[in-house]
Amino acid sequence: MAVNNEKLHKMKALVEKLREASRAYYAQDKEIMSNYEYDKLYDELQALEQETGMVLTGSPTVSVGYEAVDELPKEAHESPMLSLDKTKEREALRDWLEDKEGLLSWKLDGLTIVLTYQNGELTKAVTRGNGEVGEVITNNAKVFKNIPLRIRYQGELILRGEAVITYQDFEEINSHIEDADAKYKNPRNLCSGSVRQLNNQITAERNVRFYAFSLVKADGIGFENSREKQFDFLQEQGFDVVQYQRVDAGNIVDAVADYETRIQTYDVPSDGLVLIYDDIEYGRSLGRTAKFPRDSIAFKWADEIRETTLKEIEWSASRTGLINPVAIFEPVELEGTTVSRASVHNISILKGLKLGIGDRITVYKANMIIPQIAENLTCSDSLEIPDTCPVCGGKTELRAVNEVQSLYCTNPDCDAKKIKSFTLFVSRDAMNIDGLSEATLEKFIGKGFLHQYQDLFHLDRYRSEIVEMEGFGERSYKKLTDGIEKARDVELPKLIYSLGIANIGLANAKVICKYYKYDIDAMRHATVEELGEIDGIGEVIAKAFVDYFTDEKNNIVFDNLLKEVHIIREEIDEASQTLDGKTFVVTGSLNHFGTRNELKDLIEKKGGKVAGSVSAKTVCLINNDAASNSSKNKKAKELNVPILTEEQFMKEYLEMEP
């Protein structure tokens, strides 16, 4: 009995740990454990379930995906979207296929989407969500790079596929982000955030692509009982179909080897392969388990693991004070390249690995690309976390955010913070000053030219020294000073963003500036409660903003900066502010505006505010489906808030004829 209790306790711990990792990965787009560790724990839990004959509520072996977030409308799928059973053994694929033929395709690493077309028009797009309920992202899907908005087939067509961002587009997007801390971590996270945006202009800018991998419904079309014929049909309608090969037991192993070679240069993120029977009726006859369909199986790359020795931990400081640990180890060959370093991400992961210099560790490439530590074979746990910053020597401290521990430098004058802060300050979305790379800023800071932001506007004091510096001359100096003078004219949101306030991006800065009608003094004396009233500004952002302007040193820096710049502000016609003081909520699809954001911008230009949820302050809820049982409709009815169609709102509040 004691053994069973011990196993039950272990199963509960594994379920909670895996669910926490899934919530972080799918709902919050962050990674708290590696794929390798997740798979290992998942397999351990599955083995315990088979051994004990028990499956706990909430086990990831019977529940899949993430919970749909509140900001997007939710919708139940007509049939559950199951995950796939998986193997890492090539021979297991051959045994599974037996004497049948199948289609072997990439298992793409993005976000699964269900598309519905009626009368040849794209009418609905829904994310996988938790497999039962997804998020409606129709407007966003309409701006994917390669989705046909109209097709020849006029019946109801339902298909599934993967939304992805290629490595090339991922690198291009990151290349325009000056601040290293703000760069996106991987294409999958960037894609997830892009697909689930409330503003589809952002989605359009991210170059999201869609690859079909399954036809769900197309009445009246004969496919000769063949999945491949379904793929042919989808291609004829204008869809990009996931790349596949027709296989049988005789060539399946060679086909897997071919994919393994091609993934090294394949531009679309993939974390394995999918094998499905070509014979549709045979596959359907096999039925399904509680979690898996029996007509298909996933192949996960068997990670190439190498043993090596940990030589040191390199501590890399950033502008926020965050100090990231990077493992340096004896070079090893992995997936055809030599690797000698891997990010350890944070202190929680570092402690979990029980690292020590000289430990024997195993390393691999996640998805055959990103170097990671798999296991620590020695587990000496002798590594000392530095109590001083590697850059400035200032005191460090451990801080826990969402139960994840990280190391920070507490010295506000740390050179690493200065370099990264100035890099953000001059970046394109901030002050937009050309000719000041991070390397140049590092030289200027090292020579004592720059202490506060205002010093950038007085580099003429060091003209003779700058023109003599390597890589500089009269022409470069003039280009630099011209760029600095041009930057003196700046919009207030860009100036606020340039300050590097934690969690305040350009979009948040714009929202705050509009709320306070560009009144700098009012913004500086904002309270957390006031900022919390602004749609999209949560408690964390509000507190960061208030804390910044509560600090006397920050106010001095800002005052000195204001003396150097001229704030450009769009003139507002007071007569046009017909919605001043009124708060609206917009939900559902629109007929007269391309996106909700277009309507939101128009309301804000007229002085109104668009909130994310219905409250007693809401003037009306704009929803073309007044009869729906959505949470916003229910709340509006409870509070006696009018529900108006788009046309009714346009006539009553915008004085526009639809």
Which sequence positions are flagged as catalytic?
A: 107
| Best CA proximity match to 325, nearest among 311, 312, 338 | 312
The one-letter code for the residue type at 131 is G
The one-letter code for the residue type at 494 is K
The one-letter code for the residue type at 449 is F
Rounded distance between C-alpha atoms, residue 510 and residue 569, angstroms:
12
Question: Which stretches does DSSP call E strand in 517-605?
Answer: 566-568, 583-586
Rounded distance between C-alpha atoms, residue 261 and residue 324, angstroms:
33
Other beta carbons within 10 Å of 574: 7
Other beta carbons within 10 Å of 218: 18
Block residue for tokens 């820096």: 557
- The answer to whether 195 and 113 have CB atoms below 8 angstroms apart is yes
- The answer to whether 651 and 658 have CB atoms below 8 angstroms apart is yes
- The residues near 39 (Cβ < 8 Å, ≥ 6 apart) are 300
Write the Ramachandran bin of 596: left for phi over 0, alpha for psi from -120 to 50, otherwise beta. Answer: alpha
Angle between helices 438-446 and 415-425 (to 10 degrees): 130
- At 124 the three-state DSSP class reads strand
- The answer to whether 154 and 106 have CB atoms below 8 angstroms apart is no
- The side-by-side arrangement of strands in the sheet containing 102-108 is 86-87, 296-300, 270-277, 102-108, 244-247
Rounded distance between C-alpha atoms, residue 545 and residue 505, angstroms:
11
Q: For the chain, how big is the Rg over CA atoms in Å?
A: 28
- The residues near 463 (Cβ < 8 Å, ≥ 6 apart) are 477
- At 395 the three-state DSSP class reads strand
- The answer to whether 416 and 319 have CB atoms below 8 angstroms apart is yes
